[in-house]
Amino acid sequence: MPGYDALELHKIKKSEPVRVSGISCFGLNRTKQATLLGGFDKLKDATNIEELHEAIHDGITRNNQLEIFEGIQVVLDSVDQNSDDVNVIINVKEKETTKNYSIGAEYDPKTQEVPLKAAFRLKNFLGRGDSFSLSAQGINSRVADVSLKRWRELPSLSRQWLNDIVFGGSLVVPRLFGRSSSESIGASVGTHSLTEFMSVRFTSLVIASLLNERHKISYQLESRQLKDTKKPAVTLSDEVGGEVTEQVKRSHLWPVAGPVEDLKSSITHEYRLCTLDNLVAPNNGSNLRTKLTLAGIGGNVNHALASFNYSAYKSLLKTFLVGALDLSFAHIIPTSADQNISLCDRLFERVRGYRCVGDFDRVSLEQKGGNFAMSAAAKLIMKSEKVDELLSGVSLRGQVFINAGNVVNLEGEGTKRYTEDALKQFIQDAQASFGVGLLIGLGVAKVEVNYGVPYYLTKDSFPGDHQKHFSKFSAHVTFDI
């Protein structure tokens, strides 16, 4: 057959036989040839034009995902006019810049926090499409969501800077053990606030393998140490009469917190199925993610964790209105005689507008968390292309939302057991809120402003959260440089 540019294969009869006899690569400087050919591993298996076209398209797509090439061109050269054999010639142009610096913040809708991040990334250092990165992250969760009744506290809260600080580093090497896999190793050290008065200092090592687009297996070794928070961000003694000191509050929470120091060794399998049409601002599709973790492969933490999250988006009224639904579930099951789950591992649910969801300590006024949690969220997103054109470079989105969730501890200290009509009781104890918001896109920056009103469902609520007129305003700024 004659020679062709790969893009012209659609002009040839799909069933015409073909056999790849040789592959040549040009334009490689830093990148190893095996890395490039790893993405084109299906070329040798092609037996006709249709299969060859799919193999070339798949190879270009997979190599572009490495983010190390500016362009990839594939040309076919016939060995003989009367033969089905062809030589595949791959011409690439590598990106000149392999270093990337970024600073920004990304709003996490689950935790309703905006962590500040700074990172440095070096691409293709080993010539295998690898990525080496160093990062630092900090969170001041007290500023992200503020009650309108307590808005005067915002300046004092902001002076506390960051509650959580985490430093990390990672190395990702694609196709180390398979054509679709991506292996990585990472380490992190830092502190994380668990409650108002307690935090955990941790050092973590994670080795992971992304087997394909859907399956990921990882191993984590983590050393943890519970600490007192030196400066509690909010003092709630005024809500219980002012007679309870912070020292009493701390001492009352420690007995249910778990061991002061522990070592967690765990293995995790993650499954993901994503059909979203746009990962940043989806209009249609869904995202399913499940996780199963087994802790107890060494160390002194023994439990199993199963979690499920499903998000769905549907475009309504053409592109003016988008409906979104999010469902989450998680359950920690102790696998040892000691049923008490460490505060470091417990589930903490966040519902917009509430400071505390689930059971809490009556003296310290601290959320205890639990080992069984469910949450649901629904929202309608309103947008208009004409408004975006009128604002010239500024995107404007409105949203109406409702959030609900609950968390309980079924084993160990602070147990709140449900026996008869368990699901009904769990739902009755749930907390929910509704509200409206505005999302503004400013190029490198995104601003989200929300006004939420908690809806009183629980008779035994956290002090201050049970008032119907209680409302919260939150503002989140996301930027990337």
What are the start-end ranges of the H helices in 116-237? 141-144, 154-158
Same domain, 55 and 110: no
Q: Which amino acid is at 76?
A: L
- Max mean pLDDT among 14-18, 79-83, 269-273 falls in 269-273
Check whether 73 has a pLDDT greater than 80. Answer: yes
- Provide DSSP, 331-359: EEEE-SS--PPPTTTSB----TT-S--S-
Query: For residues 231 and 393, which has the higher predicted lDDT (pLDDT)?
Result: 393
The two structure tokens encoding residue 30: 């830093």
| Cα–Cα dist 15/300, whole Å | 61
pLDDT above 70: residue 476: no
Query: Which of 75, 94, 113 is the last residue in one of the domains?
Result: 94
One domain, residues 103 and 90? no
Output phi, psi for 52, to 5 deg. Answer: -65, -40
Q: Are residues 206 and 329 in the same domain?
A: yes
Asked whether residue 120 falls in the same domain as residue 266, the answer is yes
Judgement on whether residues 28 and 140 belong to the same structural domain of the protein: no
**Beta-strand pair 321-334/395-408:** unpaired
> Does 340 lie in the same domain as 229?
yes
CA–CA distance, 15 with 167 (Å, rounded to integer) = 55
* Percent residues over pLDDT 70 in the chain: 71
Whole-number Å distance between alpha carbons of 408 and 375? 12
* Domain span including residue 84: 4-94
CA atoms within 13 A on the CB side of 99: 2
Half-sphere exposure of 52 (CA within 13 A, CB side): 30
Looking at residue 50, its pLDDT comes to: 84
Q: What mean pLDDT is predicted for residues 103-129?
A: 75
CATH number, domain containing residue 86: 3.10.20.310
Q: Are residues 58 and 112 in the same domain?
A: no
Q: What pLDDT score does 413 carry?
A: 53
165/457 Cα distance (integer angstroms)? 35
Are residues 437 and 380 both part of a single domain?
yes
Q: What integer best gives the mean pLDDT of the chain?
A: 77
Residue where one domain finishes, among candidates 37, 71, 94:
94
Are 68 and 204 members of one domain?
A: no
* Start-to-end CA span in the chain (Å): 50
Q: Which pair of structure tokens corresponds to residue 88?
A: 């595949």
Place of tokens 């507008």: 353
Q: Any idea which residue has 């009904």 for tokens? A: 424
Q: Which two tokens stand for residue 341?
A: 């789950």
Are the C-beta atoms of residues 133 and 99 closer than 8 Å to each other? no
Structural domain total, the chain: 2
Strand-strand pairing, 164-174 and 182-193: antiparallel
Same structural domain for residues 252 and 394? Answer: yes
Q: What's 255's domain CATH number?
A: 2.40.160.50
Based on the domain organization, do 281 and 304 belong to the same domain?
A: yes
Strands 85-94 and 19-26: parallel
- Looking at the fold, whether 360 and 219 belong to one and the same domain comes out as yes
Q: Which residue has the higher pLDDT, 2 or 105?
A: 105
| CA 293 from centre of chain | 16
pLDDT tens-digit profile of 191-201?
A: 888 777 778 89
DSSP letter string, 141-164: HHHHEEEGGGGGGHHHHHTT--SE
Residue ending a domain, among 25, 59, 94, is 94
Asked if pLDDT for residue 189 goes beyond 60, the answer is yes
Structure tokens at 32: 């190893």
